[in-house]
Amino acid sequence: MNYSARQIALLVNGILDGDPEVAVNAFGKIEDAKAGEISFLANPKYEEFLYTSGASIILINDSLAPKQKISATIIRVPDAYSAFAILLTKYHETVTQQLAGIQQPAHISASAKLGEKHYVGAFCYLGDNVVIGTNAKIFPNCFIGNNVRIGDNCIVYAGVKIYHDCQIGNHVTIHAGTVIGSDGFGFAPQADGSYKKIPQLGNVLIEDDVEIGANTTIDRATMGSTIIRKGAKLDNLIQIAHNVEIGCNTVIAAQTGISGSTKIGKNVMIGGQVGIIGHLQIGDYSKIGAQSGVTKSTKPNTALTGSPAQDNISGLRSQAVMRKLPELEKRLRELESLVSQLLPEKV
């Protein structure tokens, strides 16, 4: 990476203030960036570093009115965070596009089909009838089972396992250690107390523009498909059970578990360590706070918190009361003592 301020301003459609020819070749945090690095300021809490940063170029929101002189070249944009993300994406694409070919040793079935500009890392296994799209990058130690289809411009990082028959769309990123298509947790209880396994005959369908964090597991459907809709973003260490559907542009934070056959709507935001029981319907645009335990279906635009989860306002009130319980207990005991003193003694 080696870009001038002029080139960067054009790329992010920003307004340049300073030397247009100053160049950068790395990224840095605004508080400790050095010459030759580019940084950004989106959170007002870090504004003090805008005036002391050693960065050569800094992206800032065009609504910000600096209080002091800034030594760096400034590029003003409507949203500095989003503009910086564009630059990071551009850099990442440049790095990954350099990867090409098939490293050895690797096992690729004779019936597998690989698109142009592909990359398959060492110790990968690609089974029968696998289809890999154009510019797809499969990093080392990946297992791609029979009949799996992976679309164009996908990145599958090291150690990912994709079981047979699963379908991956275009522009999907799957981070290291993730398992897609493992068996759903289906066991039928028997009269003798044992459990009989229920075969899981479905698959996992992941649509376009999805990102899946490291060590996440997405179980295949018992029948049909477990579905991750377009634009969804899953964090690390998430469990998605069989026949779950995750709606478009829904985001889910780490350590969340979603039980079988639950349907999550579009543009839902789910915090970390949330647990959702099976066969629920979570309405579009809902927000579920961290560590909530969801036991009932929700309507669209619902905000939930707590365990068991309840609407956000009621949940916050309950939490406020809980904090006062020791004081309330003390007052109750004092009242009981006062009442006992006022009552006449038993003869």
The residues that are catalytic are: 242
Whether the CA torsion 178, 184, 189, 190 is positive or negative: it is negative
How far, in whole angstroms, is CA 325 from its chain's centroid? 37
Strand arrangement, sheet containing 310-311? 101-102, 119-120, 137-138, 155-156, 173-174, 211-212, 233-234, 251-252, 269-270, 287-288, 303-305, 310-311
| DSSP conformational letter for 296 | S
* Residue 147 to residue 164: CA distance in whole angstroms: 6
Q: Point out which residues pair with 143 in neighbouring strands.
A: 125, 161
Q: Give me the count of residues in the chain.
A: 347
How far, in whole angstroms, is CA 320 from its chain's centroid? 31
Under a CB-based contact definition with an 8 Å cutoff, are residues 31 and 20 in contact?
no
Under a CB-based contact definition with an 8 Å cutoff, are residues 7 and 23 in contact?
no
N- to C-terminal Cα distance for the chain? 94
Q: Point out which residues pair with 38 in neighbouring strands.
A: 27, 57
The residue type at 190: Q
What count of other Cβ atoms lies within 10 Å of the Cβ of residue 340?
Answer: 9
* Residue 339 to residue 324: CA distance in whole angstroms: 22
Nearest to 271 by CA among 295, 284, 252, 285: 252
Q: Which two tokens stand for residue 89?
A: 């994406």
Give residues with Cβ within 8 angstroms of 16, minimum separation 6.
Answer: 5, 6, 9, 73, 74, 75
